[in-house]
Structure 1
């Protein structure tokens, strides 16, 4: 029997993209935002989307929806983000964290009544939840493990990794960064795994033996530089540790049988800038955010893209209409409302206006990553969010909702890694 799961705050469904290759099956989704709902309906029309997650606990208890084996969700992070108001559980979005636990409790109750083993949950949020002024993480942990009060961190601060054994469940958490799982994006997120199932250990899911850890940079091969370029061409490191090239269209890891999808070559060997780094190449993009059309050199990743007319022999493909070649500039002017200059590296001067299409007058432009490239950076197939929307065709799908939905989603490769490790434990218990 395939592992079944229910997904809340589903967004564009990183969990389904991650777990479908494992043979898992979604019982239901819960998403309320219009554009992600449209994406779900387009890709997964047979899986019901029940909308408001606060209604799901009652629906599970009444038997209206199944009580799945796994519950997955990333409740809204804005209440805990260092870029937001940091209102924590006082923010209605933060309060959804407790509703998540209520749903998990309801699922376990139904499963126990039916003689089935308890469920497993995996939850994701920004690292800011660990330093929330209202101890939101302690409240969340206390509710998960069955304590009547919030838990307090040892030393007055929650660490990036840990575990708690409580009256009803065991919980483990760990901050994982997508750049160490085969994605060219610096994306640190807290992942929590919890369960009351006998013999199931959340620590075995999130923690690895020394030498296989995912919170330190991978060892680089001889001759490979910081931008991910190797003597045989652009290189990437898969989540399993295998380093492979991107020449001749090789986009998969043989150790993983290629099921990690297209290796993201958007930034591997291609000079890009941004994310508080304006000098030298960046081999990982800045963390994708949910902003729509605002261009921010301080937090986003940009590429210098000479036009095809100016550089007919361009060799590094970024997208269908933009290529990068040659040496980047030592000085570039960013117009288009930014009103600021920024330093790059190299010897060719590039000037132009920040724009999305990579075609600037004068031969070069500094452009934002396209939605398709952002999808790749999250581990989705290209054009996953390019759908018919509000009476318009997929070709007319607006970029704004796509950027927002992609930025709000999870890193697919990280979720797949967690799913594999959950599955390995369940197979041992079978």
Structure 2
């Protein structure tokens, strides 16, 4: 097993320097000796064997369990070194049988029923609300920011994201809007403030529902913005605009037809939808095993080749497509730095193992967006070719108008949201 581990390191780390202290105390070096070295210790042979057999899952588990210790460098440095050397491919170390079993398991469990969807959402989003205060912006935007210039901070990028989404929907005053996967309510309340929109936001998270409802009351918009604990499949009615940000990743591959069929049913004939989700710039690829087990059970990040055919089946027209590349890497960089600055508080809320898990998650996500083909797809949909202006100038014009209005109209957070 020790020989297989050394071969794995040799095949993976070709540039840079990774020094591994084995359980025996011996040291092994991978890479070409360049750059700042990352030095790690593996404390026992069981952890080493598991990393050899299934590194996709076992590396993160070893760090969570304290079986992998970083002596020089931090977790981001280690993952940066690994991913900069890897192409996007099957996890190394997997046997043919293991690969087949992983694919079979994902295929069997890939349909997220309403009950399974509720459980999956609760697993991540119903954590202690104070955890998210440690790293999110003041509006609790838990999705990719939009960095209009490289010098912008997290708060500015998240506000710019809301402007960008509103502008791409070509929002008009007083429209009826559906927000599928409304999170903590920030986007829905923004659309209500800026466009006097009547918004229905739906979520499957009890915590998100409680916070967003409190926020609507604090802004005195309880009659204008309504948040409900409801699966999108149970909705009825017609909406002028539909927006969904960071929710499509939880739908599951086998449910794409169901999703776009429901969108087509709910969207007015002259309506517009904006779908914002994490996708791949590569061919379809299985979800990372560690992420699927510990962070987003039931999650899947699709390639465009998996999404576009489903859209075409249900009377929807793709009227605009934008790919945001490194915006999420920069968002995650801000989140990771904020979390690490508040790591002691995370331990107080949960424990050291949880803090290690969250640290690994944020570092792995950032490096995946930098090196592993993850991007944001923003797909604009309509039923009619005449639902939107002929050119994209309207997007920039509305963004400029909103930018002028945004000053002094920041988010209102109810006291219960940050308690």
Task: Please tell me the TM-score bracket, short chain as reference.
Answer: 0.3 to 0.5
RCO comparison, higher one (Cα < 8 Å, 6+): 2
TM-score (norm 2): 0.36
